[in-house]
Each structure stands twice: as C-alpha cells, then as structure tokens.
Amino acid sequence: MSERVTIIGAGLAGCEAAWQLAQRGIPVTIHEMKPQKKTPAHHTDLFGELVCSNSLRSDQLENAVGLLKEELRRLGSLILQCADDHRVAAGGALAVDRHAFAQAITDAIRNHPLIEVVEGEVTEIPAVGQVILASGPLTSDALAQSIASYFPESGYLHFFDAAAPLVTYESVDMESAWFASRYDKGTPDYINCPMSQEEYLEFWKELCAAKEATLHGFEDKKVFDGCMPVEVMARRGEQTLTFGPLKPRGLRDPKTGKEPHAVVQLRRDNDEGTIYNIVGFQTHLTWPEQKRVFSMIPALRNAEYLRYGVMHRNTYLDSPRMLDRYYRVKSQPRIMFAGQITGVEGYVESTASGCLAALELARRLQGKAPVDFPQETAIGALALYISNQSVENFQPMNVNFGIMPPLGYRVKGKRNKNAELSKRGLEILEQLDFA
C-alpha cells in the first residue's frame, strides 16, 4: 500500500484532495477540528460547509468558472458530483441545497475505506510525511502561528470576507416582488424585489450611515472586491449599488412592464425553496441595523431572518514566493497547500486547487511524471497564477479568461470568444493523462 497522506481541513479543498487520493488507492488521514472547535463563520459539524453563499456561480461555458466546473467533472470531482446531485434552481448558475450538499460530501468522505477521519484541532504542521494543508481562510490561530514560524520567509497576507443574510420565503412580501431570471434566461428562479428611485435613495442613505459591528483591524482597502460588504460598496457612490448587486438590467416588473430603478434579488438556498439568500448583501452591520435598514426594501419589510450577515477575516499566503504550480512548498515539497489559503478565491477555485494538488501528489507517490496542466485550461491557469513570481502585489483571484492565453485569432462577440476559449481548454484537457 502507498504512503499515507495527511490532510488538514475537511472543507471543499481538503475533501476533494482526500477523495482524489483515495480513489487512486492512496490512504488518507483527514483532520477536521469540527465539531470540537468551530470558526465564527461555520454553523454545522458537516464537511464542505458553504459559508458566504450557496451558489457556485455560473454553469455556462461562456464563463471561466463554468469551464473550471466542467474540467472538474471530467477529473472525477467529488465536490462537483455532490453539487450536481443537490442543485437547486438558479437560472444559469449552479446553486445547491446547502445542507444536503455538505451531508453528501461528509458521507462520501466518512464512508470511503481508504479515508480515516480524525476529529480535533491540529496545532502544528506534521514533522514528517506527505501533508496537504487545506485549513482554509479561517485557519485557527495556533496552526496559523505554526505555519508562520515554519515558513518565516513567506509572509502572511489577509483580507476580509462576509456572508449574506438568509430569510424565509414565507416572510417575503410577494405582492411587492416577482419571480424571474435576468433577461428571462433559464428558469424564473430568483425573487426580484424592486425599489423606486425614492425608495432606493432613502435606503442608500441609511445603509451608508448604519452602525457596523466591532471588527478590529478592518479597513475598506483590504476588502476583497468579490465579496465586498454591501455598505462598503454603497459608500463608493450613490449609484454604485445599481451597477452592482441591485442592478435592474434585464428585470422588467410585470406590474409596470418597465425596469425598476433598483432590484434586490433573492436566490433559493435549499431545495424546498423555504430559505432565500439576499444576493450581494454580504455585510458586517450589527444585527439590529441589518434588520432596520434591510426592512426598507418593500418586499422585505416583514422578513424573517434565519441568519444575519457576518464578517470574518480570511488569511492567505504570499503564494508566488512560496508555492510552485503543483501547490507544493518550494523549499519543502512534501508539504502542499490547497484552498483559499493559497490565494485562490471562490468555492470552485478552492475545489480545483485541492484536486490538482492531490492528482500531482498521487502521481509522485506512484513514481509517475507530473501532469503539467497548461495555461489554456482553467485549472492550470489558476495554479500558474498563484505561483507566478512576477506578480508583485499578490491578491486573491477568481478564475477568469484574463489569466488564460488569447486564442490567437478573432472571434466576433465576447460570448462566442469565451465559448471558443472553453472549447480549446476542454480539448486540451482530454489529451492529458491524469489517471
């Protein structure tokens, strides 16, 4: 039997890595500090718990994250299989029943004969053996200190992340809202809560002035734009929100036949459709202020909150100076990192890093040459971005077509060009030996 691998963290990256290794006959011990200890952002004892949103974003090949998801499917991803099995209607996006999704991941990991689960906090990097650190952006203080002391030259970075509130469907005033997807694309899965110009301006003023929860060390400049608190976004200008999460484009109110001045969208958070996520409303306002200000949205005037928005710090490494394209520590390749701690941003991207790290480790343990996923593939482009030493001001990155090579020929229309980029990436992936 092959050497046993230690994985720290049973989030998306850790579970994906454990699954990929075990499926290739390599025994794994995965450590998870829950249920003995939880971070401020987690609420259950399940593996692969989603925090910020229940959406894995676009499932269309005209979008880079759609390409990354399709690549992961073809690589035998556990996370994508569980997501597909427990998806909920969300137009062109892949959104999941949060609890059922996490339960499926937990069951798969706990029931695999080659995966041993050890509960309890890991406070130090194991001194010997192959290790994948997938402890996530909310790495415990003790382990974070161990990493910092183990790699003093690497330098930690950090940013702040936020989770949006959840409300019950029955508490939404559907007389003031309607179901539709933007531009009527796909099925009408979103609840759209319109606001007139007067309603929006009053809401905007109160949002800008609302009281924030105490958060030591928070600075707007350190907020990652992909998950920016709605109140921080609002302070950037009167109409910033109407070009962001409250954008009304492609959403015609059936009562008027016109686009409202602003639209707040709610996305289904479970399969039964009893819980909805307020899209783009990540926040660190105090809970009473969230209730007061968000109640100014007509359709949410009597909303029942199952969870208010929360704010927490995410920690990531200066990966270009520390990691190679396989997510291995350059100075100590027996140690690998995976997930958001590497600077990949997003659920799917975290999954991809765990997948690639495990595939490469499996091949190394089996005496095979590494698979150099090229930059034309989404999974390869992401790994090459986080290991690119020419990046001076390293920041967390979602997958995007901008980090992939251009086609080299003209294609009319952005969607057509993106579709061609995805076609190229999948054709290249099919030619690789990643068994």
Query: Confidence class of residue 41 from pLDDT cuts 50, 70 and 90?
Result: low
pTM of the model: 0.81
Phi, psi of 70 (to 5 degrees): -65, -40
Task: Examine the domain organization and report whether 324 and 412 are in the same domain.
Answer: yes
435 belongs to a structural domain: no
Task: Examine the domain organization and report whether 82 and 94 are in the same domain.
Answer: yes
208 belongs to a structural domain: yes
- Considering 262, 286, 308, which residue would you say is the last residue of a domain? 308
Task: Examine the domain organization and report whether 293 and 336 are in the same domain.
Answer: no
Task: Examine the domain organization and report whether 264 and 389 are in the same domain.
Answer: no
CA angle 422, 423, 429 (to 5 degrees): 90
Task: Examine the domain organization and report whether 136 and 20 are in the same domain.
Answer: yes
Residue with token string 């606001």: 195
18 belongs to a structural domain: yes
pLDDT-wise least confident of 260-274, 384-398, 407-421: 384-398
Range of the domain at 29: 5-161+313-430
Averaging pLDDT over each range in 55-59, 177-181, 210-214, 226-230, which range is the top one? 177-181
Task: Examine the domain organization and report whether 257 and 324 are in the same domain.
Answer: no
Query: Confidence class of residue 254 from pLDDT cuts 50, 70 and 90?
Result: very high
The whole-angstrom distance between residue 2's C-alpha and the CA centroid of its chain comes to 32
93 belongs to a structural domain: yes
Task: Examine the domain organization and report whether 155 and 75 are in the same domain.
Answer: yes
pLDDT digits 0-9 by tens, 293-313: 999 999 999 999 988 887 777
356 belongs to a structural domain: yes
269 belongs to a structural domain: yes
Chain mean pLDDT for the chain? 90
Task: Examine the domain organization and report whether 260 and 391 are in the same domain.
Answer: no
Task: Examine the domain organization and report whether 422 and 302 are in the same domain.
Answer: no
Q: Which 3-state string (H, E, C) describes the chain?
A: CCCCEEEECCCHHHHHHHHHHHHCCCCEEEEECCCCCCCCCCCCCCCCCCCCCCEEEECCCCCHHHHHHHHHHHCCCHHHHHHHHCEECCCCEEEECHHHHHHHHHHHHHHCCCEEEEECCCCCCCCCCCEEECCCCCCCHHHHHHHHHHCCCCCEEEEEEEECCEEEHHHCCHHHCEEECHHHCCCCCEEEEEECHHHHHHHHHHHHHCCECCCCCCCHHHECHHHCCHHHHHCCCCCCHHHCCCCCCCCCCCCCCCCCCEEEEEEECCCCCCEEEECCCCCCECHHHHHHHHCCCHHHCCCCEEECCEEEEEEEECHHHHECCCCEECCCCCEEECCHHHCECCHHHHHHHHHHHHHHHHHHHCCCCCCCCCCCCHHHHHHHHHCCCCCCCCCCECCCHHHCCCCCCCCCCHHHHHHHHHHHHHHHHHCCCCC
328 belongs to a structural domain: yes
Task: Examine the domain organization and report whether 186 and 141 are in the same domain.
Answer: no
- Considering 250, 276, 308, which residue would you say is the last residue of a domain? 308
- Considering 308, 325, 347, which residue would you say is the last residue of a domain? 308
With a pLDDT cut of 90, the percent of the chain lying above it is 71
pLDDT digits 0-9 by tens, 178-225: 999 988 887 888 999 999 999 999 999 999 999 988 754 444 445 555
pLDDT digits 0-9 by tens, 97-137: 999 999 999 999 999 999 999 999 999 999 999 999 999 87
Task: Examine the domain organization and report whether 45 and 122 are in the same domain.
Answer: yes
For the chain, the domain total comes to 2
Query: Confidence class of residue 162 from pLDDT cuts 50, 70 and 90?
Result: confident
- CATH number of the domain that 322 lies in? 3.50.50.60
pLDDT (0 to 100) of residue 219: 42
54 belongs to a structural domain: yes
Task: Examine the domain organization and report whether 144 and 207 are in the same domain.
Answer: no
- CATH number of the domain that 261 lies in? 2.40.30
Distances in Å between the Cα of 226 and the Cα atoms of 116, 138, 142, 186, 397 are 35, 17, 28, 24, 9
